[in-house]
């Protein structure tokens, strides 16, 4: 069984409830010539509110998997001598950067938490009840009435995490995306030769130089129909939405039995079906497993070399930047990093190294 700290949860529903208001107090002070001593019952305190806050140290919604119901603190009851009850403390729920918060039942989006420390109000606490001192009038000098505190409102929220990565890797399963992320960054994703190797998206930080970095995300392999939910479908396509540049990884290995040009068209069709805006995102072509090409000066080209020639023709037709790399040996990776950095600069986004 997979250990809990390896579980990636990127979509979940939780229930939140504002704190109940405290009850108002019925009380009379003892004072000569004042009927019944005079009313001095204090108001009840307001219930606490529930806030959602973006925390850059979190990477998953896993904590909410184990606990689904959250309630802010109730307000204190009012007391005599015009002592008002204290308001309940607010409850702050922390979520990863990139979490979109919506009302589960209406679908209304409450906020998109994309900046560290950004907060949204999920639900407000209830008002406290009025004490009997509030009901004094010219005709009722000694009211024996006070309000009960109101019950805190509740609602169900839907959390959806979309990774905040600058660069996203797309491509069919087993084209070497996980190996590529592992070589480019400090990330160490699981690597194995089976469909949908990437069961959870992996983020890695890539250092361009002493002053600049970018975040790269290894996204799961797509299959035809992913935009309609087949395979891993929407569960992972959402993580491509925030990326500024897509690395489209194609496989030079002839043993896959797939044609890289067909793979290119299939993946782009799925991206366009999911989001036309996403399909227009800048792309860089990456031909991986260049170690299989062999000697390019040989008279008889290998099948891997023939595949590379077709990919080069594709890059020319589509006017796409092409990098030929080997994630296994490291060939071409420094040039790829510099190419990604240039493209991110063109989009106006490249992180300063911390």
Domains of the chain: 4-161 (2.70.210.12), 167-352 (3.40.50.300)
Which range (13-17, 198-202, 248-252) has the least confidence?
198-202
Q: What is the mean pLDDT of residues 248-263?
A: 90
Comparing CA positions, the residue from 198, 298, 311, 159 lying closest to residue 250 is 311
Element (H, E) at 324: strand 321-324
Per-residue confidence (pLDDT) for residue 198, from 0 to 100: 42
DSSP conformational letter for 135: G
Distance CA 47, CA 176 (A): 53
pLDDT confidence band for 233 (50 / 70 / 90): very low
Instruction: Give the residue from 231, 228, 62, 37 showing the smallest Cα distance to 133.
Output: 37
Q: Which residue has the tokens 């925390």?
A: 55
**Reported confidence tier of residue 220, pLDDT bands at 50, 70, 90:** low
Residue 4 has what pLDDT? 36
- In whole angstroms, how far apart are CA 339 and each of 20, 143, 278? 56, 78, 20
Q: pTM (2 decimals)? A: 0.68
Question: What's the rounded Cα separation, in Å, for the pair 189 and 217?
Answer: 11
Q: What is the mean pLDDT of residues 173-195?
A: 65
The residue whose two tokens read 């009379």 is: 28
Q: CA 183 to CA 146: how far, in whole Å?
A: 69
Q: What pLDDT is recorded for position 41? A: 92
Taking all residues of the chain, what is their mean pLDDT, rounded to a whole number? 83
Report pLDDT digits (tens) over 258-305. Answer: 899 999 998 888 888 877 888 888 999 999 999 888 665 554 457 888
Asked whether the predicted pLDDT for residue 70 surpasses 90, the reply is: yes
Q: What is the pLDDT of residue 300?
A: 46
In the numeric block, which tokens belong to residue 175? 């084209």
| Dist CA 51 CA 37 (whole Å) | 43
What confidence score (pLDDT) does residue 302 get?
Answer: 79
102-139 pLDDT tens trace? 999 999 999 999 889 999 999 999 999 999 999 998 88
pLDDT of residue 201: 64
Contact 195, 133 (CB under 8 A): no
Which range (168-177, 180-189, 193-202) has the least confidence? 193-202
Residue 320 pLDDT: 95
The structure tokens listed for 215 are 């975040």
pLDDT score of 229 more than 50: no
Read off φ and ψ for residue 116, nearest 5 degrees. Answer: -55, 130
Contact 118, 77 (CB under 8 A): no
pLDDT over 90, % of the chain:
46
The pLDDT, as a whole number, for residue 200 is 59
Output Rg (C-alpha) for the chain, integer angstroms. 30
What residues contact 210, with CB distance under 8 A and at least 6 apart?
A: 353
Check residue 121 and give its pLDDT.
97
- DSSP state letters, 53-83: EEETT----THHHH--EEEPPPPPPPBTTTB
Q: What are phi and psi of 65, to 5 degrees?
A: -70, -30
Q: Which two tokens stand for residue 226?
A: 């992913």
Identify the pLDDT of residue 354: 55
pLDDT single digits (tens) 200-217: 567 777 888 877 888 888
The Cα 13–Cα 101 span in angstroms is 10
Q: Is residue 275 exposed (0-12), middle (13-18) or buried (19+ Cβ within 10 Å)?
A: middle
Note the pLDDT of residue 189.
43
Helices (H), 114-198: 177-184
pLDDT for the residue numbered 270:
82
Helix (H, G, I), strand (E, B) or coil at 48: coil
The lowest-confidence range among 66-75, 105-114, 240-249, 332-341 is: 240-249
Checking if the pLDDT of 146 tops 70, the result is: yes
Query: What are the backbone angles phi and psi of residue 151, rounded to the nearest 5°?
Result: -80, 135
Model pLDDT, residue 36: 56
* pLDDT one-digit tens code per residue, 319-329: 999 999 998 88
**pLDDT of the residue at 314:** 95
Q: How high is the pLDDT of residue 322?
A: 96
59 to 55, 164, 181, 234, 304: CA distances (angstroms) = 9, 10, 17, 19, 38
């Amino acid at each position: 069984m997979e250990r809990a700290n390896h579980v990636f949860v990127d979509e979940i529903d939780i229930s939140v409830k504002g704190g109940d208001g405290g009850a108002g107090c019925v009380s009379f002070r003892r004072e000569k010539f004042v009927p019944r001593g005079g009313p001095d019952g204090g108001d009840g305190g307001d219930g606490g509110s529930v806030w959602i806050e973006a925390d850059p140290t979190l990477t998953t919604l896993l904590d909410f998997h184990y606990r689904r119901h959250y309630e802010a603190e109730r307000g204190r009851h009012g007391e005599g001598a015009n002592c008002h009850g204290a308001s309940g403390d607010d409850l702050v729920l922390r979520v990863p950067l990139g979490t979109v918060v919506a009302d589960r039942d209406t679908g209304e989006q409450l906020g998109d938490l994309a900046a560290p420390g950004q907060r949204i109000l999920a639900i407000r606490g209830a008002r406290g009840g009025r004490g009997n001192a509030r009901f004094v009038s010219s005709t009722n000098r000694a009211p024996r009435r006070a309000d009960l505190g109101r019950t805190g409102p509740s609602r169900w929220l839907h959390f959806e995490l979309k990774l905040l990565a600058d660069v996203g890797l797309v491509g069919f399963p087993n084209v070497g995306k996980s190996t590529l992320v592992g070589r480019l960054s400090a990330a160490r994703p699981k690597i194995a030769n089976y469909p949908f190797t990437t069961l959870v998206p992996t983020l890695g930080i890539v250092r361009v130089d002493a002053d600049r970095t970018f975040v790269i995300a290894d996204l799961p392999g797509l299959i035809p129909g992913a935009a309609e939910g087949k395979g891993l479908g929407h569960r992972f396509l959402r993580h491509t939405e925030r990326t500024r540049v897509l690395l489209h990884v194609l496989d030079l290995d002839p043993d896959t039995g797939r044609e890289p040009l067909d793979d290119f068209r299939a993946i782009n069709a799925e991206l366009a079906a999911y989001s036309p805006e996403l399909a227009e995102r800048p792309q860089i072509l990456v031909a991986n497993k260049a170690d299989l090409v062999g000697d390019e000066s040989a008279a008889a080209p290998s099948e891997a070399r023939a595949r590379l020639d077709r990919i080069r023709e594709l890059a020319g037709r589509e006017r796409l930047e092409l990098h030929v790399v080997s994630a296994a040996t490291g060939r071409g990776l420094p040039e790829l990093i510099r190419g990604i950095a240039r493209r991110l600069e063109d989009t106006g986004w490249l992180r300063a190294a911390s």
